[in-house]
Amino acid sequence: MSGSSGGQEGVQRDGLVLAAVDIGTNTLKLSVARCYPDGRIEPLDERNDTVRLGAGIERTGGIDPERLDRAVRTLVTFEQAGRDQGARRFVGVATEALRVASNGQEFLDRVRRETAWEIRTISGDEEARLTFLGLRSWLPADGPGAIVDIGGGSTEVVATIGGDIESASSVSIGSGRVADRWFRADPPGREALRNAERDARAFLESRASMLDGRGGVLLFSGGNGQFIDMLRAHFGLGAALDEQVIRLVLERLADEPADSIATVLGIQRERAAVLPAGVAIAVAVASAVCPDRIVAVPSGIRTGLLRDVIERDGFASLR
């Protein structure tokens, strides 16, 4: 009995190392973290690989076999990175690309056979909920707010009031989809970006009306928001984000080759190539919300997933 109690006390004191992965339409993202019973999450390792599972999916209906193979290899690498940090539980979620791909189950079956990852494909509503769980501490205690996570295949929108969810929605528009639809050259050019922004406005007006004139604080979560903020600083476009600054970033990207963007941001070229489409969506979002303040914050979905697993399963079952 005393040995069991001591082991539990050790878990309470030392925490548990867990690995979480977000399999997105553009990018696979890994977080390895030490999690504590009091809610603290200490990051140990973070990695990403822009596989673009969703490339061409609107045209073919399925994930390209070479990209599928690459994604499995990336998950094997991510698993080893987690084990190197002491992780024994590997949890993950798959989002829009796996929701719509005709061969999505084939991918998940391979992941189960070849890795230790426990992956589930989640709905857009669940994606929004996990994003909220991961970013709740960033929200104002009073007044309206919004969390918008622009992914490769979908955009998650969470409207909040007083730090709680008022409504949530997943809109089937993302940087990868928009880029595949409108970009025919590198750099994309102004006409392509005008079409991308117009496309985003139409989607948001019909599917995310909760954003209209919301005001308050707008959190752009994930890579798109953080990259926009980095480009703001790089181009010297102001001290903070607002709608006009984001629009100026978009104008700069019309004539900026993907290789140049990749070098500035330290990201893969494939990710840089679709970034202007994400910025076009961000312009459309900011125009709809009319926020008092815009803040770029880290992606919340993996932190939310870790919190969710701990709350659902408890520390004892995760040992």
Taking the model in full, what pTM does it have?
0.87
* Phi and psi angles of residue 188, each rounded to the nearest 5 degrees, phi first: -70, -30
Which pLDDT score, from 0 to 100, does residue 39 have? 84
CA distance 296 to 260: 22
Which pLDDT score, from 0 to 100, does residue 319 have? 64
Given strand 16-23, what is the order of strands in its sheet?
41-49, 28-35, 16-23, 89-94, 118-121
> Is-cis flag, bond preceding 187, omega within 30?
yes
CA distance 222 to 229: 11
| Distant-in-sequence contacts of 230-236, Cβ < 8 A, 24+ apart | 230/264, 230/265, 231/261, 231/264, 231/265, 234/264
Q: 79 near 119, Cβ under 8 Å?
A: no
CA distance 144 to 288: 14
The tokens for 251 are 């104008």
The tokens for 191 are 């006409």
Domains of the chain, each with CATH number or no CATH: 2-123+301-318 (3.30.420.40), 125-297 (3.30.420.150)
Which pLDDT score, from 0 to 100, does residue 315 have? 66
CA separation (Å) from 144 to 68, 129, 164, 246, 300?
A: 40, 17, 9, 21, 19
| Residue ranges, the chain, pLDDT below 70 | 1-13, 315-319
Which pLDDT score, from 0 to 100, does residue 1 have? 35
Residues in CB range of 12: below 8 A, 6 or more apart: 36, 37, 315
* Sign of the CA dihedral running 85, 90, 93, 99: positive
Report the interhelical angle of 104-114 vs 65-84 (nearest 10°).
Answer: 30
For the purposes of burial, counting CB atoms within 10 Å of the CB of 59, is it exposed (0-12), middle (13-18) or buried (19 or more)? exposed
B/e letters for 109-124, b = 16+ CB within 10 Å, e = fewer, are eebeeebbbebebbeb
Place of tokens 């992956």: 119
Residue 279's nearest CA partner among 267, 291, 296 is 296
